[in-house]
């Protein structure tokens, strides 16, 4: 289940805050966690609550909305929708990198459209974050010790494969194919059993039939379906299905 969009409403006018709260209450997956009536209150709430979305009135009693924006630390910056009764502020709002601009009194359909855009933007932000985390993980990866090997039985022989040589593993019915730098081996074994024998910090399942060596990944290419195309260093492309993106996140969280 997706996390709710944690929202702060900031405006000097109580009537405006009340109207926004009433309109936003009908939006599924959105939670108003705080209301502020001044710039100082707003900046303090952002630092302590770390909201996903800020609806910020430009007119504030102690400073205007643009000054509030300039006072937010980059790491604390939520998605910001600026609001004002004067549409002449729209150009400056976008120059200040506000995500959207709404004119008061609010049009319910226009507000709903803005919230839907916020939902899409959050998905894009999560995808970009996942990509950056993966690249950081690859940059910091250390070389494995020499005795980290996987024993596999092939045609009556037992081979000890260096884990770092394994590029990817793919299931095919009751068999799995292990692709290394120089060869390919087919084993009669389930992919889940193979996965349990691998280092979970170095190998991640990206599809119900595919396991990949994280150190072999060159880039992720987002697809419109919410999936990724995982591109390996040798140019091989593997599909990362939507249901297994959590496996990548768990890998990053363990770092």
Stretch among 10-14, 60-64, 194-198 having the lowest mean pLDDT: 194-198
Q: Which of 125, 149, 174 is the last residue of a domain?
A: 125
| Structural domain includes residue 135 | no
* Count of structural domains, the chain: 2
Q: What is the pLDDT of residue 144?
A: 45
Q: pLDDT tens digits, residue range 37-53?
A: 999 999 999 999 999 99
Same domain, 112 and 179: no
Same domain, 179 and 103: no
Same domain, 118 and 41: yes
Q: pLDDT tens digits, residue range 119-168?
A: 988 877 776 666 666 666 555 554 444 447 787 777 767 788 888 889 99
| Structural domain includes residue 195 | yes
Q: What is the pLDDT of residue 248?
A: 62
| Structural domain includes residue 132 | no
Asked if the model's pLDDT at residue 250 lies above 70, the reply is: no
Q: What is the pLDDT of residue 18?
A: 93
Same domain, 31 and 92: yes
Look up the domain containing 163 and give its range: 141-253
Q: pLDDT tens digits, residue range 88-100?
A: 899 999 888 899 9
Same domain, 96 and 177: no
Same domain, 118 and 180: no
DSSP characters over the chain: -PPPEEEEEE-S-HHHHHHHHHHHHTSTTEEEEEEESSHHHHHHHHHHH--SEEEEES--SSS-HHHHHHTS-GGG--EEEEEES-GGGHHHHHHTT-SEEEESSPPHHHHHHHHHHHHHHHHHHHHHHHHHHHHHHHHHPPPPPTT-EEEEEETTEEEEEEGGGEEEEEEETTEEEEEESS-EEEESS-HHHHHHTS-TTTEEEEETTEEEEGGGEEEEEE-TTS-EEEEETTS-EEEE-GGGHHHHHHHHHT-
Same domain, 145 and 242: yes
Task: Please give the average per-residue pLDDT across 177-191, as a whole number.
Answer: 88
Q: What is the pLDDT of residue 120?
A: 87
Task: Please give the average per-residue pLDDT across 15-37, as a whole number.
Answer: 92
Task: Report the CATH number that the domain containing residue 58 is assigned in CATH.
Answer: 3.40.50.2300
Q: What is the pLDDT of residue 57?
A: 95
pTM of the predicted model as reported, rounded to 2 decimal places: 0.54
Task: Report the CATH number that the domain containing residue 231 is assigned in CATH.
Answer: 2.40.50.1020
Stretch among 10-14, 59-63, 110-114, 226-230 having the lowest mean pLDDT: 226-230
Q: Which of 125, 152, 172 is the last residue of a domain?
A: 125
Q: Which of 68, 100, 125 is the last residue of a domain?
A: 125
């Amino acid at each position: 289940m997706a996390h709710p969009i944690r929202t702060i409403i900031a405006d000097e006018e109580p009537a405006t805050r009340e109207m926004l709260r009433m309109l936003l209450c009908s939006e599924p997956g959105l939670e108003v966690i705080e209301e502020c009536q001044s710039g100082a209150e707003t900046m303090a709430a952002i630092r302590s609550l770390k909201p996903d979305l800020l609806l910020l009135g430009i007119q504030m009693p102690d400073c205007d909305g643009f000054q509030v924006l300039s006072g937010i630390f980059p790491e604390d910056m939520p998605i910001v929708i600026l609001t004002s009764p004067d549409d002449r502020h729209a150009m400056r709002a976008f120059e200040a990198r506000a995500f959207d601009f709404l004119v008061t009194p609010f049009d319910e359909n226009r507000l709903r459209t803005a919230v839907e855009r916020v939902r899409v933007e959050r998905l894009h932000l999560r995808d970009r974050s996942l990509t950056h985390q993966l690249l950081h993980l690859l940059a910091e990866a250390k070389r494995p010790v020499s005795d980290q090997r996987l024993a596999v039985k092939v045609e009556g022989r037992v081979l000890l494969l260096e884990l770092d040589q394994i590029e990817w593993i793919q299931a095919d019915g009751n068999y799995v194919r292990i692709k290394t730098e120089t060869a390919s081996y087919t084993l009669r074994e389930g992919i889940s059993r193979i996965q349990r024998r691998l280092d979970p910090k170095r190998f991640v399942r990206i599809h119900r039939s595919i396991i990949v060596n994280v150190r072999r990944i060159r880039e992720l290419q987002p697809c419109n379906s919410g999936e990724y195309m995982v591109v390996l260093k040798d140019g091989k492309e593997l599909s990362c299905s939507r249901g297994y993106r959590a496996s990548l996140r768990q890998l990053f969280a363990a770092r």
